Every structure is written in structure tokens, then in C-alpha cells.
Structure 1
């Protein structure tokens, strides 16, 4: 008997850029879905700032450096080559297995990786490694939360947060998303961060597409992204306990199965 494909012919929004969308799209295709790649978030390094230069010159004075995403790793090393920093590199903490893998490609190993890939779990599990007076470097994006920095500072650490990249919605994505929503060409919307939600809603409100949006099944990764969807008045149909794209797709399929009963 031929196994049915749960996402057969359903058009699924893949909100990632070209370099990040491949594995996501393959998971959708494996279940019979049609991935529609529309990057709802893109990143660009800011101009090299004096604070970043000063921190890198004094890298050996830090006890820890924290990377919260692949983007922070890639952007950080776009400013400086690893070879320039090897001997002075502090211990490294990351959020997420993918970030640890990205770091490994640079020839570095993370000392600390949390059991779940959200800031709250990271802080809870990382705090035992922090002693009063420790210095922590936290490169980040312009829209990143301050939760980690605040929690570590309250524990007595001296945290230097430095914005090294900014996020934006590409113009071509804005036009493509508006057109496909207007023509009801998206069945399932899957979100991987609060920023992807904000950028989609910006387009929805600008083009008056609220009615079309309400006809879509919505899934997401993580409580922060789910909270953002709810703040925008949207119903979240799928939100897995494990914060991976694979589990998000499985959770979405489970919702569709129930709906079809």
C-alpha cells in the first residue's frame, strides 16, 4: 500500500533565505508539500563599530562569549578571521545545536550548549557557570531580546552587549508575499522567529490581507514566537515542545490529521 503524504499539494511558507531554506524545504517536500520560499528576514552586518574593535582587542579579558544563532557566528567572523583570535578566545556558550555546528565549521567547539534552544532555558542552565565579576561578551542583532544580558548581570557578571548585525524584510519578499496571500496561494504559514511574524504582519496590514490570512494554518517554533503571533491576534494551530523545524512540521501534520477526522 502506498503511504499517503500528509501535506500533499499544500503550499507551505518557508520564511528563510536561500542559504537556510534548503533543509526546511526538503522536509516539506518529503511530506508531499510544496515549499514556497519567501525570506521574511534577512541580515546585514553593521559597519565595524569601535566597541566591537575594542572588545576584540581585549578578547583575552573575557571569560565567556555567547553566540545565540548561526547569524551571530557568521557575522562575528566576517569582521575578523578566526586565526587572528585563536589564542585569545574565551570559553564559548551557544543556543542551539545548529549554532554549535556552525561554530565547529570555524574550528571552534562550544563549551556549553543548553538542553532546549530558548533564552529562558539557556539562562537557567548556564547560570551555574557564572561567578560574580566574570566578563561576558554577547554579540547580537539589533532586535535581539535583553533577557540573557539582564539575567547574567543580575548574577554579577559584567556583560558587554554589542550589536553586530541588523535585520530587515527584503523588498522582493514583501511583494511576493503580498501577491501570494492576495491570491490565496499559501495554505500553511510556518514561523521560526518573532521577527518573521512582525514582518509578515507588516505586509498583511499594509495590503489589507487580514481575511486571507485567517484562512491559513499557522505553526511556529518556540514560546516567544508563539507569543508574538498571539499578540497579533492570530490563532496558533501547531507549536511543538521541541523547537526544531522537523518537529514543527510534525506538529502541523498532527493538527491537519485531527481537522480531517
Structure 2
């Protein structure tokens, strides 16, 4: 039974947004674990509608369109009322982002093997020409690494905030109850914003004491850095930055 259900008995907190949690929770169940969905973030279309419409109306003036997340793809195409037959060359970060793009009927021209912004810029640099124009569709909390690096190499970057990542304060009581009653064995963090919002929602409580009994799993180095900034120990961080790899590495961690 343990081999087939390696996470049996493990109560695993899923902190990602509600609309993203189901697939992750289903995989946890497949391995015998119990997912506890407490979405610490929520997403909505950015309020800067005039800027979004203006940039989208000039799509044919860009050489590259960049997406760093599934959310960026979803909100961009939601705002794109008329789907053109041809878009600029498209660069994406991560297989999930590429999957979302394929669902919209388009294929990425560039998908780096390293699923973070640094991987994208390093792969793009040799392909760039001085003066290339980029439209980066991103969330309000995304890092500035990509636009900064592309500008260093002569790129002209329009940095378009297409969606907002908000703190989900409505989950505060549930989160605190799970923690204080020791009902969690594992916490999964899939972005720096889930980390920051977690710390905000448990502020003033003995959360560091609670975490001593809990294994911390993060999706990749950027999220790990956010955890380390709060001096939170990380027990599992996969080399491939996907939720599937998070669970695979967690299972390996428990087998040691």
C-alpha cells in the first residue's frame, strides 16, 4: 500500500489560487495524500484597461510576445477580442504556460528548458537584434528581471501588467485553524506571493513554532528565495519547476 500510495496519511496544504488548485489536489489524492485547499492568492484582470487595449491594438508592431505564466496567457487572450491569425513570435516560461497557449490555438516559438525568467532571457539574447520590440504580458507582482535584461541588450520592452495578484484575506481563519490545531503535515508554495501572503495572514501568531512540525515544499528557486528571506527552512525544492516535480521530490524525500 505504501508503494502505491506514498503520501498516505499526509495532510498537504495547497496555497495556490482556487482556479489552479484542482489539478494539484487531484494528484495529491492519487498518491494517497489529503489536500487542504487554502488559496492564499486570487487573480483578476488588471484595471488599466486603456493601456491594455492600446498595447493589444499595436500587436503587429512587436517582434516578440512574452508570457511568464498560464495566468498571463489566459488574461491576455481574454482581453484580445479578435484573435489574429498571426501573432509576433512568442516566448514562454514553463510547460504549463505553453499548454495554456496551445489551448488558445497558438504555439510558442521559444520554450527554454529552465522554467524561470533567467532561463528565458539567456535563451533569447542570442536571437535578439538591436531594437527588437517586446510585449511582456505579466502580473503586477512579477519580477523585473526579464524587461531589465532585455533592455540591457538593446531590446525595446513594453511591460504590460495584464492581471493583478491579490492577497486572499478571506482564508485567514481557515489557515490559522489548520496550523494551530496541527492539522497540516506539508505546506506547498508555488510562488513568492503565496509565501508573502502566508506570513501576512499568520502575523502575530506563533507560526514559526507551528512550522517546526511541518515539511515545506516549494516549486523552484525564486519561491525558495522568498522563503529564505523569512528564514523558513525548505525541505523539498525540485530541479524542474512544476507541481508534478514537487510531488515526485516530496515522495523521494519521504523514502529517504
In the superposition, the TM-score normalised over structure 1's length comes to 0.92
Distance (whole Å) between structure 2 residues aligned to residue 129 and residue 161 of structure 1: 20
Q: Please, which of 112, 115, 123 is the counterpart of residue 125 of structure 1?
A: 123
Q: Secondary structure at 2:162's aligned position in 1? A: strand
Distance (whole Å) between structure 1 residues aligned to residue 190 and residue 223 of structure 2: 7
Per the alignment, residue 185 of structure 2 pairs with 187
Distance (whole Å) between structure 2 residues aligned to residue 2 and residue 73 of structure 1: 39
- Contact 2:17–2:43 (CA under 8 A) maintained in structure 1: no
Post-superposition offset of 1:108 = 1.3
- Contact 2:24–2:243 (CA under 8 A) maintained in structure 1: yes
Deviation string, structure 1 residues 16-62 (Cα, Å, up to 9, x no partner) = 23322222112211221101111121111122433222211211110
Per the alignment, residue 50 of structure 1 pairs with 50
Distance (whole Å) between structure 2 residues aligned to residue 214 and residue 134 of structure 1: 49
Per the alignment, residue 61 of structure 1 pairs with 61
Deviation string, structure 1 residues 224-247 (Cα, Å, up to 9, x no partner) = 111111111111111111111121
Q: Within 5 A, what are the aligned runs for 1:99-138?
A: 99-138=97-136
Distance (whole Å) between structure 2 residues aligned to residue 166 and residue 58 of structure 1: 22
Per the alignment, residue 170 of structure 1 pairs with 168
Post-superposition offset of 1:74 = 0.9
Deviation string, structure 1 residues 207-229 (Cα, Å, up to 9, x no partner) = 34221122210011111111111
Distance (whole Å) between structure 2 residues aligned to residue 43 and residue 121 of structure 1: 25
Per the alignment, residue 32 of structure 1 pairs with 32
Per the alignment, residue 93 of structure 1 pairs with 91
Per the alignment, residue 19 of structure 2 pairs with 19
Distance (whole Å) between structure 2 residues aligned to residue 226 and residue 17 of structure 1: 18
Q: Secondary structure at 2:216's aligned position in 1? A: strand
Q: Could you list the runs of 5+ residues in structure 1 that have no partner in the other structure?
A: none
1:63 to 1:29, Cα distance in 2 relative to 1, 3 A: same
Q: Within 5 A, what are the aligned runs for 1:221-232?
A: 221-232=219-230
Post-superposition offset of 1:181 = 0.7
Q: Secondary structure at 1:108's aligned position in 2? A: coil
Q: Secondary structure at 2:203's aligned position in 1? A: helix
In the superposition, the TM-score normalised over structure 2's length comes to 0.94
Matched, 1:207 2:205: yes
Per the alignment, residue 251 of structure 2 pairs with 253
Say how many residue pairs are matched.
256
Deviation string, structure 1 residues 168-209 (Cα, Å, up to 9, x no partner) = 122332221111111111110111111111111112224342
Deviation string, structure 1 residues 95-130 (Cα, Å, up to 9, x no partner) = 111111111111111111111211111111121221
Per the alignment, residue 140 of structure 1 pairs with 138
The Cα RMSD (Å) is 1.6
Q: Secondary structure at 1:181's aligned position in 2? A: helix
Q: Could you list the runs of 5+ residues in structure 2 that have no partner in the other structure?
A: none
